[in-house]
């Protein structure tokens, strides 16, 4: 959460570069935004509450005639959204932006106040500016930063300027993402590559406890211990066009409609249908270890957690491996039982999710084999796991995950076949699953043809304040994901529940003003799902049913509204069933007039606990 941009170079339009970067990072936080630009040894800072457009109104001529600057879009952790709490923060001639949390800021603040420092914000970030300023009394800029790093504890990415050394910018990473873009005219620094790709496709990913000293012509990476470190430049797979809306009203809608391509890209080159095999190059180095695995633990958060729950059903039913799914935010605070026969799989779109990263580190400490399913090449989880699989879904800008989710499910199908064929899965079953997986992009496209019906239903149900989302077996996690989406995007309270559990308490909520969305494909539990629908209807509840094509007339006897999805294997229905739920949430949010790309209080990537 929070977005950082920095620029230093030969061009004199630093302000424009920074503003454009903030717009591309606004999904990371939009409580407030700020910018500090330098011209010679003179600095100018602007801040505004709200979205980047409010900051843009204040800047004027300072967009140009500047060759260096830092900028920030905030998702509040310490201190409410306000101008005084917005970044950049300053002390003396030091200016900085910060993403993360300084755990010992209160202790440091008290010490600095005793030395005469006066604070103007409620944030933990301002403490770092004052600390560097304090050390600047006896040290140059670089030495002052190194000294400050010895005092602070927590997760942070920092980018800093000093008016005493106006040809230098310093950046630091520790458990919060930071990427360097190496352009022809200078360097762009950002929290993720979406703010960089319009300038260059050459990037350097920083690791934890690394510091970078920039001049307009060069950069040098050092460890926190002061040792120089060589970093290899990488080429981004994304292009600038991929990160734009391409005519769609919102990124979320664009990314929903990109799902056929996202699924196709996730499986491209990875399936050998005739042999019933999944070819996963990222697992080659650990293939023998995976044969010996006796247990799998999936760690993830939010939408990725729902993907993990679907994976649990797949891996147990078809690969025969006992599987558990844990909230990453709770995993390391238990005493997880992990050994060398356990594979711990982290699922994270960004590859930077703080809780998931901490869970992986805990698993490694206990001797487990760690794997990653991530979308961001070069991300921390991708680098720190023993092996992994990339989604190849491209940039996902909308805060609510859509195409990343279906690509995660696609990867989990491939992983299931990979591990299953190592064990007892037959050639016939492997061929059957992969052949049907190949057909899913086209089948997702077929769902979009029912868009008007889905929009009509969404508009009809936006008047309700609460809803149930119910499903069984493979579609219970999809009910959870559907409920999460409607909460995120339209702010309607919703609960995702196993439909079999409804009668064990939650049915007490059902009345004419409490509708239910029920996943009812023609699968092995269809008859039981129909029974749940009847129980709801008997109590006056309204029902929206998601069912298999050809079943509409039959289920209309039980449901008020029906959405059809194409027929597929039971284990693959989640990849289809989730699409109308995403569209329901999208259209409901739009109908209510909300910013569906940037829902309130949320950030795209949660990089602090």
Within-domain flag for 598: no
Dump pLDDT digits (tens) for 562-572.
999 999 999 99
CA distances from 19 to 65, 69, 89, 578 (A): 14, 10, 17, 35
DSSP for 411-471 reads: HHHHHHHHHHHHTT--HHHHHHHHHHHHHHHHHHHHHHTTHHHHHHHHHHHTT-SEEEEEE
- Residue 426 in domain: yes
Judgement on whether residues 76 and 223 belong to the same structural domain of the protein: yes
**Domain of 140: which CATH number?**
3.60.20.10
Q: What is the mean pLDDT of the chain?
A: 93
Average pLDDT over residues 562-583: 98
Q: What is the pLDDT of residue 301?
A: 94
**What is the pLDDT at residue 215?**
96
The pLDDT value given to residue 448: 97
The answer as to whether 605 is a domain residue is no
Which pLDDT score, from 0 to 100, does residue 76 have?
77
Q: Is residue 172 part of a domain?
A: yes
Domain boundary among 243, 275, 298: 243
| End residue of a domain, out of 446, 470, 502 | 446
pLDDT band at 608; cut points 50, 70, 90: low
**219 domain residue, yes or no:** yes
CATH number reported for the structural domain that contains residue 530 in this entry = 3.40.50.10490
Asked if residue 121 and residue 10 are part of one domain, the reply reads yes
Q: Tell me: do 427 and 455 sit in the same domain.
A: no
Q: What is the pLDDT of residue 609?
A: 61
Expressed as residue numbers, the domain containing 561 is 451-591
The distance in angstroms from the start CA to the end CA of the chain is 10
- Which pLDDT score, from 0 to 100, does residue 571 have? 97
Catalytic residue among 443, 542, 598, 604: 604
Of 428, 446, 464, the residue that ends a domain is: 446
pLDDT grade for 2, boundaries at 50, 70 and 90: confident
Place of tokens 């170079």: 9
For residues 516 and 578, membership in a common domain is answered with yes
Residue 124 shares a structural domain with residue 70: yes
Residue 304 in any domain: the answer is yes
Residues 471, 364 share a domain: no
The total of structural domains in the chain comes to 3
Statement to judge: residues 435 and 487 lie in one domain: no
Give the global pTM. Answer: 0.80
Domain contains 130 = yes
Percent of the chain with pLDDT over 90: 80
Q: 424 and 491, same structural domain? A: no
What is residue 176's predicted lDDT score, i.e. its pLDDT? Answer: 86
- For residue 603, being part of any structural domain is answered with no
Q: What is the DSSP letter of 375?
A: S
Q: Indicate if 302 and 385 belong to the same structural domain.
A: yes
> What are the tens digits of pLDDT across the range 294-345?
999 999 999 999 999 999 999 999 999 999 999 999 998 888 899 999 999 9
Helix (H) or strand (E) holding 106: helix 105-114
Question: Is-catalytic flag, 301?
Answer: no
- For 531-552, write each residue's pLDDT tens digit: 999 999 989 999 999 999 998 8
At 595, phi and psi to the nearest 5?
Answer: -85, 95
Q: 303 with 436, same domain?
A: yes
Q: pLDDT digit string (tens) for 485-502?
A: 999 999 999 999 999 898
- 520/492 same-domain check: yes
pLDDT digits (tens, 9 = 90+) for 216-272: 999 999 999 999 999 999 998 777 766 677 778 999 999 999 999 999 999 999 999
Tell whether 483 and 439 lie within a shared domain: no
Instruction: With cut-offs at 50, 70 and 90, classify the pLDDT of residue 604.
Output: confident
Reply yes or no on whether the pLDDT at 573 is more than 80: yes
The pLDDT of residue 432 is above 90: yes
Band of pLDDT at residue 503, cut at 50, 70 and 90:
confident
If we measure between CA atoms, which residue out of 384, 311, 314, 382 comes closest to residue 349? 382
* 604 catalytically annotated: yes
């Amino acid at each position: 959460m929070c977005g950082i941009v920095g620029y230093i170079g030969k061009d004199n339009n630093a302000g424009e570069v920074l503003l454009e970067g903030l717009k591309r990072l606004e999904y990371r936080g939009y409580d407030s935004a700020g910018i500090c630009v330098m011209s010679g040894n003179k600095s100018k800072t602007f801040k505004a509450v709200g979205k980047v457009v409010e900051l843009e109104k204040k800047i004027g001529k300072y967009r140009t005639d500047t060759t260096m600057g830092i900028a920030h879009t905030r998702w509040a952790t310490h201190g409410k959204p306000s101008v005084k709490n917005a970044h950049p923060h300053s002390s003396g001639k030091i200016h900085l932006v910060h993403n993360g949390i300084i755990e010992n800021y209160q202790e440091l603040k008290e010490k600095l106040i005793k030395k005469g420092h006066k604070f103007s914000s409620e944030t933990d970030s301002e403490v770092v500016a004052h600390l560097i300023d304090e050390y600047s009394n006896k040290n140059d800029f670089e030495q002052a930063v190194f000294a400050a790093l010895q005092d602070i504890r927590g997760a942070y990415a920092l980018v800093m300027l000093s008016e005493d050394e106006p040809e230098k910018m310093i950046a630091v990473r520790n458990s919060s993402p930071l990427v360097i873009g190496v352009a022809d005219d200078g360097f762009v620094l950002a929290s993720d590559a979406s703010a960089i790709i319009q300038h260059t496709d050459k990037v350097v990913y920083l690791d934890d406890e690394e510091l970078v000293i920039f001049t307009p012509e060069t950069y040098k990476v050092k460890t926190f211990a002061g040792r120089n470190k060589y970093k290899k430049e990488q080429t981004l797979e994304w292009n600038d066009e991929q990160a734009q809306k391409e005519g769609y009203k919102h990124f979320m809608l664009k990314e929903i409609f990109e799902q056929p391509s996202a699924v196709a890209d996730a499986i491209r080159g990875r399936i050998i249908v005739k042999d019933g095999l999944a070819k996963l190059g990222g697992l080659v180095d650990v293939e023998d270890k995976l044969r010996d695995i006796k247990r799998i633990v999936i760690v993830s958060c939010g939408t990725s957690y729902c993907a993990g729950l679907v994976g649990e059903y797949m891996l147990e039913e078809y690969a025969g491996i006992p599987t558990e799914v844990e909230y990453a935010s709770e995993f390391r605070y238990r005493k997880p039982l992990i050994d060398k026969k356990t594979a711990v799989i982290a699922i994270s779109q960004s590859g930077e999710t703080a809780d998931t990263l901490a869970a992986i580190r805990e698993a490694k400490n206990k001797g487990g084999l760690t794997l990653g399913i991530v979308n961001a090449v070069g991300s921390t989880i991708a680098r720190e796991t023993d092996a992994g699989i990339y989604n190849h879904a491209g940039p996902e800008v909308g805060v609510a995950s859509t195409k990343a989710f279906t690509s995660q499910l696609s990867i989990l199908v491939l992983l299931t076949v990979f591990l299953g064929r190592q064990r007892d899965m037959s050639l016939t079953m492997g061929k059957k699953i992969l052949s049907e997986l190949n057909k899913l992009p086209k089948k997702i496209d077929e769902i979009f043809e029912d868009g008007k019906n889905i929009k009509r239903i969404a508009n009809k149900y936006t008047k309700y304040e609460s809803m149930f989302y119910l499903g069984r077996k493979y579609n219970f996690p999809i009910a959870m994901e559907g409920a999460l989406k409607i909460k995120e995007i339209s702010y309607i309270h919703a609960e995702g529940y196993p439909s079999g559990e409804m009668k064990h308490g939650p049915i007490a909520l059902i009345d004419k003003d409490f509708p239910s969305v029920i996943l009812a494909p023609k699968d092995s539990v269809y008859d039981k799902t129909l029974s749940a629908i009847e129980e709801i209807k008997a109590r006056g509840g309204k029902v929206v049913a998601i069912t298999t094509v050809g079943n509409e007339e039959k289920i209309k006897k039980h449901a008020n509204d029906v959405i059809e999805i194409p027929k597929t294997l039971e284990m693959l229905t989640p990849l289809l069933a989730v699409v109308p739920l995403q569209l329901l949430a999208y259209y409901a949010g739009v109908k209510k007039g909300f910013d569906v790309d940037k829902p309130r209080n949320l950030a795209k990537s949660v990089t602090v606990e």
